[in-house]
Structure 1
Amino acid sequence: MNLLVKEVVTAVEGVNYAQHLDDQMISSVEFDTRKVQENSLFVPLKGARDGHDFIPQAIENGASLVLSEKDLSDDIAYIKVEDTLIALQKLSRFYLEKVGSKVIGITGSNGKTTTKDMTAAVLSQAFKTYKTQGNYNNHIGLPYTILSMPEDTEMLVLEMGMDHKGEIEVLSNLATPDIAAITLIGESHIEYLGSRQGIAEAKMEITSGLKDEGVLIIPNDEPLLKRLIVDISQEVESFGIDTQATLSAEIMSETKNDTQFKTNLFKEEVFSIPVLGSYNVKNALIALLIGHHFGISASKMKNGLETFDLTKNRTEWLKTNDGIDILSDVYNANPTAMKLVLDTFSALELEGRKFVVLGDMLELGELSSQMHESISEHISPNHIDQVYLYGEQMNALYNLLNDRMPKGNLHFYHKTEKKELMEHLSRQLQPKDTVFLKASNGMGLSEVVDFLLKNHE
């Protein structure tokens, strides 16, 4: 990015204590002093620590301009604002309008990141495209993503996350998307939103900033959303598998590394995605609808899907040196997502035994025990050989499965017993076995993945 200091002053509506730098260029905006470099604007934010405490370090690292809510010494070039976070958001809005890129906003209870990655891969076949990096999808990460995009960006793909009502509305009004997509409505954060209905309403906030001529994309099989779209004026398109949707897919084949499907709109093409699961086909349909909206040919979109880069820890296949396959999906979890992957994993034809390691799904509130128990219908001893359950909430599932699984094939570990879990699992696994791991990020199952990779070299 490149912005003049005087443009920054105008954008954030602050008091300029850096007039001598008005015509100097700012080339990056950072709130982490470790990323500050020459010609950076440093934005101190309030978190566990007050970012204002790190202003001297930012200047030492090369920052030429600072935003501040406080009066600073005369030797510091700064712009005084009432709220540095709001100023960051205002600046991102200014830069977005200056660049003029088309904006795609993506939200949903599951699949946001994969859909973002697929959409960016499809759009990049014809346009200069930039996407949310990692999980920078909140009120800080989204404006930071905007300010990090190159000036020649034509398509900006933004992931929008939330915990509470009202958060997506802020992000949507900031980004004003041309196209908004909702992947699915699950149970993530139901503790704060009360019900799936509350979650659907929170996800529909993505239409708050959707341009009048914009398009909303929703799953065809979600009645909660269908009831809500009657209140919006923008065009609505839908997606689904074996259903009457704007874009519908028929799955042709599925292996652990590849899923192939056909669609009703592009009848001549067989699309392939380098990930497993019908749920990922639905994510791909969103990407195809978006690419089609912008006039990208089916053949180019096919190439984009075949070669897309998946963000780390999202249904990632790994392999130990002694031949154990690991399906790692440890970044996040909710009941809908866990059931989808379990069903897909159960149906896979694999050479060795199948192990699953499931950790607590967090933020489910009063419904937590019931929702953990509901996973039982998706675990069958006919398809899964060994089950490891980890965390206090998983005790509800353990009690249900105790009479269904053969003796010695079901294991439960408290949250304090991660070491015991790792060691027992590691001893049981043999070459050609496959283990699937899924839990909320707070359960730290990534440590189990790392342990297996290290101890089976």
Structure 2
Amino acid sequence: MTIDQIYKLFEAHPNVITNSRKIEKGCLFFALKGENFNGNKFAHDALNKGAAFAFVDEQEYHNSEKTILVENVLQTLQELALFHRRKLGIPILGITGSNGKTTTKELISTVLSEKYQVAFTQGNLNNHIGVPLTLLTMNKSTEIGVVEMGANHPFEIGELCAIADPDLGIITNIGRAHLEGFGSFETIKKTKAELYEHLKRKGGTIFYNNDNIILQELIGDYSRTVSFGKTSADFTGEPVSSPPYLHAKLNFPKGAIYLNTQLTGHYNFENLMAAACIGNYFQVDPLKIQSAIKNYRPKNNRSQLIEKSGLQIIMDAYNANPTSMQASIESFVSAFQQPRFLIMGDMLELGDQALKEHISILEQTKKHPFEAVFLVGPVFKEAAQSSSYYTFPDVSALCNYFAQNPVKKGSVLIKGSRGIHLEKVLDFL
């Protein structure tokens, strides 16, 4: 079956599902395979549940007029997404980066939605499966698409660009994340820069933080750019101190506007600047940009401020790497007074650099006064051998400790990789 024929099926059934447990009547089921699962086995079940057609890539499951045999289901899904993206012909903005890409995606989408019909990546569907699924949610009413692209191994951003074919793009920043998959910081830079390379070949527009020297270097002499930053940029602004929340003054063409946010952490300044800059580029009314950012509330354990029983808790445990951990600690110290408590979980996917990076974080921590520091995970435990910090093998042990020794007053930063499950601590604070 050709891609044109597959697209006609999609036009008739524009609901693509890859999880057989979530089948909806009239959908197209794509039987994906992974290391521990084979979607082909569930094709018959998907059809019984109401799927219009099921795409399979193993002959033994091609046993119905409603099963469509293709060479590779994942590749077919990706080719369909690209075909659909080009049929729509709308501007697609690609977002990648080591930190802040999800918050930036949500802020940009919130701002652009003040003027346009925007379709954007939901949750963390930012990989080789999530990107095509995001594209396939777009329809004729969509005016702008915002696609988040994640990577944990070399060349992945280039592969995602080949699917989404973005016209515009932004790299939030480049830090030491997923070192286990990349091997080195230089490889991370090259992989993130694949978004820039795609846009340069296409003649697309790059948005970038002019205060970030690494991004400046990667752009080189490419001229189709829009910069933002504190000074010497196309779009400028400055943070305004207002703990615990981040506020800012932004300079629009017709005058300055103050933005109040519900974001914590100085590191979010570049995220809101990106959203305001891109909103301004797409001619969204500055007052609507102001309103959109003011009403945005972070969720999913990303820089959330939680008031609980005399405590101010910064819940930032969706993910962690050395760059984001350092930024969170510095921002926490600058915004909150003593008594301050620090709860940190292991930073995962750092490979043979893990111990070194955890020791570096502890050295940074020692520069600031904390009422107490609690460390969760085997790597932090090994790194903290010579310190007086409290260490716990896992989050359950920490929860048991707090059940007997509750923190009653002060501010608490909770920061760690998602796999440590630090969100469980909230019930014990």
TM (norm. structure 1) is 0.86
AA in 1 matched with 2:402: L
Query: Aligned residues, how many?
Result: 425
Q: Secondary structure at the match of 1:209?
A: helix
Q: Residue 344 of structure 2 aligns with which residue?
A: 358
Q: Deviations over 1:422-453 (max 9, x none)?
A: 1213433344433221111122222223x32x
The reply on whether 1:412 has 2:359 as its aligned counterpart is no
Q: Deviations over 1:141-198 (max 9, x none)?
A: 1111111234311111111000011110011121121211011111001223233222
Q: Contact 2:173–2:215 at 8 Å: present in 1 too?
A: no
Higher mean C-alpha deviation, range 147-156 or range 392-401: 392-401
Counterparts of 1:36 and 1:221 in 2: how far apart (Å)?
Answer: 47
Q: Residue 395 of structure 1 aligns with which residue?
A: 381
Counterparts of 2:136 and 2:405 in 1: how far apart (Å)?
Answer: 48
Q: Contact 2:196–2:219 at 8 Å: present in 1 too?
A: no
Counterparts of 2:237 and 2:358 in 1: how far apart (Å)?
Answer: 30
Q: Secondary structure at the match of 2:267?
A: helix
AA in 2 matched with 1:302: Q
The reply on whether 1:142 has 2:131 as its aligned counterpart is yes
Q: Secondary structure at the match of 2:329?
A: helix
AA in 1 matched with 2:406: L
Shift of 1:348: 2.1
Q: 1:58 aligns with which of 23, 46, 56?
A: 46
Q: 1:441 aligns with which of 411, 418, 428?
A: 418
Task: Give the 5 Å matches for 1:56-455.
Answer: 56-71=44-59, 72=61, 74-210=63-199, 212-230=202-220, 233=222, 235-240=224-229, 242-256=230-244, 258-265=245-252, 267-320=255-308, 322-350=309-337, 353-380=339-366, 383-399=369-385, 401-402=387-388, 410-415=389-394, 418-449=395-426, 451-452=427-428
The reply on whether 1:25 has 2:12 as its aligned counterpart is yes
Q: Secondary structure at the match of 1:148?
A: coil
Change (3 A) 1:339 1:213: same
Q: Secondary structure at the match of 2:400?
A: helix
Change (3 A) 1:246 1:375: farther
Change (3 A) 1:265 1:401: farther
Q: Deviations over 1:98-154 (max 9, x none)?
A: 333221111100001000010001100100112111100000011111112343111
Q: Secondary structure at the match of 1:269?
A: strand
Counting aligned pairs with the same residue, the percent is 32
Q: Contact 2:121–2:148 at 8 Å: present in 1 too?
A: yes
Structure 2 runs not aligned, ≥5 long:
none
Counterparts of 2:384 and 2:10 in 1: how far apart (Å)?
Answer: 65
Q: Secondary structure at the match of 1:268?
A: strand
Q: Residue 6 of structure 1 aligns with which residue?
A: none
Q: Contact 1:197–1:224 at 8 Å: present in 2 too?
A: no
Aligned residues: CA RMSD: 2.4
Structure 1 runs not aligned, ≥5 long:
1-8, 403-409
TM (norm. structure 2) is 0.91
Higher mean C-alpha deviation, range 152-161 or range 296-305: 296-305
Higher mean C-alpha deviation, range 64-73 or range 114-123: 64-73
Counterparts of 1:246 and 1:432 in 2: how far apart (Å)?
Answer: 44
Q: Contact 2:93–2:168 at 8 Å: present in 1 too?
A: yes
Q: Secondary structure at the match of 2:277?
A: helix
AA in 2 matched with 1:174: I
Q: Contact 1:172–1:208 at 8 Å: present in 2 too?
A: no
AA in 2 matched with 1:52: N
Change (3 A) 1:436 1:246: same
Counterparts of 2:67 and 2:223 in 1: how far apart (Å)?
Answer: 42
Shift of 1:400: 5.5
Q: Residue 11 of structure 1 aligns with which residue?
A: 3
Counterparts of 1:301 and 1:128 in 2: how far apart (Å)?
Answer: 15
Change (3 A) 1:347 1:223: closer
Higher mean C-alpha deviation, range 127-136 or range 393-402: 393-402
Shift of 1:295: 1.4
Shift of 1:298: 1.5
Counterparts of 1:160 and 1:400 in 2: how far apart (Å)?
Answer: 40
Counterparts of 1:31 and 1:115 in 2: how far apart (Å)?
Answer: 27
Q: Deviations over 1:180-236 (max 9, x none)?
A: 1011111001223233222111101113432734211233343333332227x4513
Q: Residue 37 of structure 1 aligns with which residue?
A: 24
Counterparts of 2:62 and 2:256 in 1: how far apart (Å)?
Answer: 67
Counterparts of 1:62 and 1:164 in 2: how far apart (Å)?
Answer: 37
